[in-house]
Amino acid sequence: MSTETVDPRFVDIDQWPTEAAVDAMLEGQLAAVASIKSQVPAIAAAAEEAARRLRRSGRLVYAGAGTSGRIAVQDGVELFPTYNWPQERLVFLMAGGQSALTESAEGAEDDGDAAREAVAAAGVGPSDVLIGVAASGRTPYTISAVEAAREAGALTIGIANNVGAPLLAAAHHGLLADTGSEVVAGSTRMKAGTAQKAVLNMLSTAIMLRRGLIYRGLMVNMRVSNEKLLHRGHAIIRDITGVDEEVATRALDDAGMEIKHGVLIALGATPEEADQLLHEHHENLRPAMAALRAREPVDA
């Protein structure tokens, strides 16, 4: 596996000046991000199918072990505060259980049966999307999770850092971040981890984009949870609708702090109409706005 091999350039890195060693690490990080350029079409295809699959009740399920599992969980937990993606529509399958997020449980990665049991216990099914992440692409826990989810009818996405990895073949969508040798051999929290994080960021953001939770580059489904985000919510409504601060504030209040609803209310909908419009259009603001405008009477 390329992620485990020793790069001859760095065999004496422990004797290098610290600045030179750090510079080499930075070079590796830049190369890691560059390695995923070829995967843009594959990431887009996976995101589009995932968005279609999720619809109203589907869940995003993240599966992994060790470093890769922790990176996967990091991506998922950000979806609630950033896009108000419901927490009940997020599932995390971590080899060794939730305690493995902070304490190493590396031996758990070999337990494929545990992964299958976890997928079954979570009730993963046809409306769900499971994302499995493993630098080697050979981790039994992650491969078994993907296989079990696929057998249950879920859409599966595999992210790995080695060409020809079994994980990529096991998933409906295999995303390869071919990062090669690490500066410190086998330390996949470095280049491999950086590439995984970038792929996950793009994948989940593209899913949210296709689910209609982003409008004109704005986080219109953001969770308003503090004073800073309250002001941002008002600003988003003003930017989209052109209303003043007073109207935006009242609209967001009437919407129960739901920004998309607030936009429709600022445009003249009642709270009930805003609810109905968003429900009819699968929570996608753009077609909901178009439908509201189509209802407006045309001056004679």
Cα dihedral 131, 134, 137, 138, rounded to 10, equals: -110
47 neighbors 210 (Cβ within 8 angstroms)? yes
Closest CA to 207 of 281, 129, 126, 142: 129
Give the phi and the psi of residue 15 in degrees, each rounded to 5.
-105, -5
Query: Token pair of 178, please?
Result: 């071919």
Q: In Å, how far from its chain's centre is CA 282?
A: 19
- Among 6-15, 108-117, 166-175, the least confident range: 6-15
For residue 157, list its beta bridge partners. Answer: 131, 173
> Environment class of residue 198 by beta-carbon count within 10 Å: exposed (0-12), middle (13-18) or buried (19+)?
middle
For residue 231, list its beta bridge partners. Answer: none
Closest CA to 212 of 134, 282, 146: 282
Report the distance separating Cα 184 and Cα 194, nearest Å: 14
pTM of the entire predicted model: 0.90
Report the distance separating Cα 59 and Cα 230, nearest Å: 27
Active site residues: 78, 109
* pLDDT band (50, 70, 90) for residue 300: very low
The predicted-structure confidence for 139-188, as pLDDT tens digits, reads as follows: 999 999 999 999 999 999 999 999 999 999 999 999 999 998 888 887 88
**Domain segments of the chain as ranges:** 2-210, 227-295
| 104 pLDDT more than 90 | no
155 neighbors 49 (Cβ within 8 angstroms)? yes
Distances (CA, A) of 111 to 12, 16, 147: 36, 40, 14
The predicted-structure confidence for 189-232, as pLDDT tens digits, reads as follows: 889 999 999 999 999 999 999 998 999 999 999 999 999 999 99
CB atoms within 10 A of CB 100: 20
* pLDDT band (50, 70, 90) for residue 296: low
Q: In Å, how far from its chain's centre is CA 131?
A: 9
Q: Residue for token digits 């769900």?
A: 128
CB atoms within 10 A of CB 13: 14
* pLDDT band (50, 70, 90) for residue 298: very low
Length of the chain: 300
Give the phi and the psi of residue 152 in degrees, each rounded to 5.
-85, 0
What's the CATH superfamily of 2-210?
Answer: Glucose-6-phosphate isomerase like protein; domain 1 (3.40.50.10490)
- Choose the CATH number for 227-295 among 3.30.450.90, 2.40.30.10, 1.10.8.1080, 3.30.43.10: 1.10.8.1080
137 neighbors 196 (Cβ within 8 angstroms)? no
